């Protein structure tokens, strides 16, 4: 059964299939977008999960150094880009891989500026 959006041609800029096709391209900006959004979403998800666990009493930050949880979760979130790199490598999207590498390098540099100064 066809939906309403499949039958209306004048909705093409926001049409489901054209919107989906926009992100299925071997372009640097696609890699940058994925490389910034996935770590951000991963960090927020993990941070909120650990906050809920701390409220329930299942996790504690006692005994750790200052900002330990944030530093560690940020590194784990940056490492999530490895999954995107693997997927793009299988698709042979080399330009999108470059975008992910650029965004990973930017996030790692931001991590060093935020937390590395206190560590070293």
Determine the pLDDT at residue 47: 92
Could you tell me the residue range of the domain that residue 50 belongs to? 27-119
Whether 13 is covered by a domain: the verdict is: no
Whether 50 is covered by a domain: the verdict is: yes
Determine the pLDDT at residue 117: 81
Determine the pLDDT at residue 25: 83
Determine the pLDDT at residue 15: 53
Whether 31 is covered by a domain: the verdict is: yes
Whether 17 is covered by a domain: the verdict is: no
Whether 12 is covered by a domain: the verdict is: no
Whether 95 is covered by a domain: the verdict is: yes
Determine the pLDDT at residue 67: 83
Determine the pLDDT at residue 13: 52
Determine the pLDDT at residue 14: 52
Looking at the 3D structure of the chain, how many domains does it have?
1
Contact 80, 29 (CB under 8 A): no
Whether 38 is covered by a domain: the verdict is: yes
Whether 33 is covered by a domain: the verdict is: yes
**What are the pLDDT tens digits along the chain (120 aa)?**
565 555 555 554 555 566 567 667 889 999 999 999 999 999 999 999 988 988 888 777 666 777 888 999 999 999 999 999 999 999 999 999 999 999 999 999 999 999 888 777
């Amino acid at each position: 059964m066809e939906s309403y959006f499949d039958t209306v041609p004048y909705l093409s800029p926001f049409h489901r299939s054209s919107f989906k096709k926009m992100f299925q391209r071997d372009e640097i900006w696609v890699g940058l977008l994925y490389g910034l959004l996935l770590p951000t979403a991963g960090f927020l998800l993990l941070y909120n999960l650990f906050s809920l666990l701390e409220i329930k009493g299942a996790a504690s930050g006692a005994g750790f150094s200052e900002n330990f949880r944030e530093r560690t979760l940020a590194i784990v979130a940056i490492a999530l880009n490895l999954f995107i790199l693997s997927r793009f490598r299988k698709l042979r999207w080399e330009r999108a891989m470059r975008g992910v590498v650029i965004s990973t390098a930017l996030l790692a540099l931001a991590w060093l500026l935020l937390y590395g100064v206190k560590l070293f």
